[in-house]
Structure 1
Amino acid sequence: MIGLVPGRATEDRWLALIAHLPQDAANPRMARLRTREALGAAALREGVYLLPDTPEHRHSLQELARYLLDAEASCEVVVLESTDAEQTARLRALFDRTARYTELLEILRGLESGIGIADPTALGRVLAKQRRELARIRALDFYGSPLAQQTEERLVELEQRVRKLIFPDHTEAPLRRQQRYFRRTWATRRPLLADRLASAWLIRRFIDPEATLRWLDPGEEAPADAVGFGFEGAPFCNGRSRVTFETLLAHFDRDNDPALARIGMLVRAIDIGDRRMAEAEGVETLLNGARRRATNDDELLQECEKTFDLLYEAYLDGLPRRPERL
């Protein structure tokens, strides 16, 4: 295996991983395949994989080569240079990401047709997934496709439009403080995504323990005597910068509870697909598992209530303890 000296990448210089694995080396084969896909390497032929010469790629290929050598494979990492400009152009074409950008643009066009029809929260989550896909494509777009900026601008435009639907820029409907919220029927619409499930849990745990919950079909009006939540036009719904859970917290003076406020931040992160909050993805996975287990919406809430109960206890445990009085 050739030792490589880090240097400045040039357009006509390449790194090649040349590997031959034993027939029974299943694990190294999978490692090679996954690493090749993750790095965006091009296959010149079976066992020969090419990448532009950069310090990051040198390090990654060296690490993979060491792993393969430990698995008793024959493996070398070498530096190659193009013989002429035509060969450079042919090799660069192996890393053309136009097809992936085009595919993503087609997906975005399809999502645009759903704006104003589909649930905006669901659209927001799908757009968050496409945002992560765009990041993966750009990370492997070594030569800067002209479609990169076009795709970015298109995605930003759709994100802004959907965000306005999730957090409408309007004054929330006035709520009379003297209105009674005990033993009431509370109604929200399907599908029961994170904000609606968390809000239903909040209502039963902290607002109206004897509440009756009703699940409405999309477009179905809530009964006249029900308190609506979690959909446009309901007394409790998303605001300019809050999800329904946070709206409920504020109205019922529960936003001074740090554990509940933390759950509100978590719910907002899940609903808009923000992965900067560490536990958001894990909690979303648990909610998806509850959907698979439950046979109806009442069972779904029962399963999800366990998750939110545990989150509340965990966040309480993470708060500073008050000193005990002597």
Structure 2
Amino acid sequence: MNFDSWLLLLLTLRANNATIRVRYWRTLKTKGCVALRDGVYLLPANTQTESALRELAHEIMEGGGVVHLLRAQHFDAEQEIELRSMFNRSEEFAEFVRSLPKFKETLFSKTPREISSLLRRLQKKLDDIIYIDFFPNEASTKAIATWKDFVLFAKNVIYSSES
């Protein structure tokens, strides 16, 4: 994806309600936002991210918070590189890949139904990372390839247990 601008969400919550703060923080995290400082969040601008932040901004305002959603551009290539680096999901992908051998060891002791359930859970975990991977790189390519190999192995385990 090519991003030429950024979205800044500036928010102030009315009350010191920790539950509300945590709920919004989690929502921002699942949308892939990066915290620049307390109450200032950044996302690459596209139709999807803008829609998601507009919806969240509306929710926060309805709850009594103050929200400003701004579009910004980087000044130069150096700043663009710096901003993009904040969205590097390589570690999340690496962690996912590192978890697969542990699950692979358990497949032979699971029923086909349990393996299918595990595959769905792991697929969702990978999909969640891909959803916030605005700047795919080698780490995402490796994770997806490793995942495909894992799925093939798991399906072979299911097949061999049913024979």
Q: TM-score, normalised by structure 1?
A: 0.46
Q: Does 1:82 align with 2:74?
A: yes
Equivalent residue, structure 2, for 1:94: 86
Structure with higher RCO (Cα < 8 A, 6+ apart): 2
Offset at residue 32 of structure 1 (A): 2.0
Paired residue type of 2:158: I
Among 9, 13, 28, the alignment partner of 2:5 is 13
Among 35, 40, 43, the alignment partner of 2:32 is 40
Equivalent residue, structure 2, for 1:119: 110
Aligned to 2:153, the other structure's residue is in SS state: helix
**Is the Cα–Cα contact under 8 Å of residues 120 and 162 in structure 1 kept in the other structure?**
no
Among 35, 41, 65, the alignment partner of 1:49 is 41
Offset at residue 67 of structure 1 (A): 1.9
CA deviations on 1:137-159 (whole Å, 9 max, x unpaired) are 11111111212222122122222
Gaps spanning 5+ residues in structure 1: where? Answer: 1-8, 169-231, 233-237, 240-326
Equivalent residue, structure 2, for 1:106: 98
Equivalent residue, structure 1, for 2:142: 150
Of structures 1 and 2, the larger Rg is shown by: 1
**Is the Cα–Cα contact under 8 Å of residues 22 and 73 in structure 1 kept in the other structure?**
yes
Q: Distance in 2 between matches of 1:111 and 1:68?
A: 39
Offset at residue 19 of structure 1 (A): 0.7
- Structure 1 residues 10 and 127 mapped into 2: Cα distance closer, same or farther (>3 Å)? closer
Paired residue type of 2:33: A
CA deviations on 1:194-219 (whole Å, 9 max, x unpaired) are xxxxxxxxxxxxxxxxxxxxxxxxxx
**Is the Cα–Cα contact under 8 Å of residues 21 and 29 in structure 1 kept in the other structure?**
yes
Q: Distance in 1 between matches of 2:152 and 2:144?
A: 12
Q: Does 1:60 align with 2:35?
A: no
**Is the Cα–Cα contact under 8 Å of residues 33 and 41 in structure 2 kept in the other structure?**
yes
Offset at residue 127 of structure 1 (A): 3.0
**Is the Cα–Cα contact under 8 Å of residues 3 and 46 in structure 2 kept in the other structure?**
no
Across the aligned residues of Structure 1 and Structure 2, the Cα RMSD in angstroms comes to 2.2
Q: Distance in 2 between matches of 1:115 and 1:151?
A: 19
Q: Distance in 2 between matches of 1:100 and 1:84?
A: 28
- Structure 1 residues 28 and 63 mapped into 2: Cα distance closer, same or farther (>3 Å)? farther
Aligned to 2:14, the other structure's residue is in SS state: coil
Offset at residue 28 of structure 1 (A): 4.4
Matched length:
162
Equivalent residue, structure 2, for 1:4: none
Offset at residue 52 of structure 1 (A): 0.4
**Is the Cα–Cα contact under 8 Å of residues 115 and 158 in structure 2 kept in the other structure?**
no
CA deviations on 1:216-264 (whole Å, 9 max, x unpaired) are xxxxxxxxxxxxxxxx5xxxxx24xxxxxxxxxxxxxxxxxxxxxxxxx
Q: Distance in 1 between matches of 2:48 and 2:83?
A: 19
**Is the Cα–Cα contact under 8 Å of residues 7 and 71 in structure 2 kept in the other structure?**
yes
Offset at residue 72 of structure 1 (A): 2.4
Paired residue type of 1:88: E
Paired residue type of 2:95: E
More helix by share: 2
**Is the Cα–Cα contact under 8 Å of residues 101 and 147 in structure 1 kept in the other structure?**
yes
Aligned to 2:7, the other structure's residue is in SS state: strand
Q: Percent identity?
A: 24
Paired residue type of 2:10: I
Equivalent residue, structure 2, for 1:289: none
Paired residue type of 2:119: L
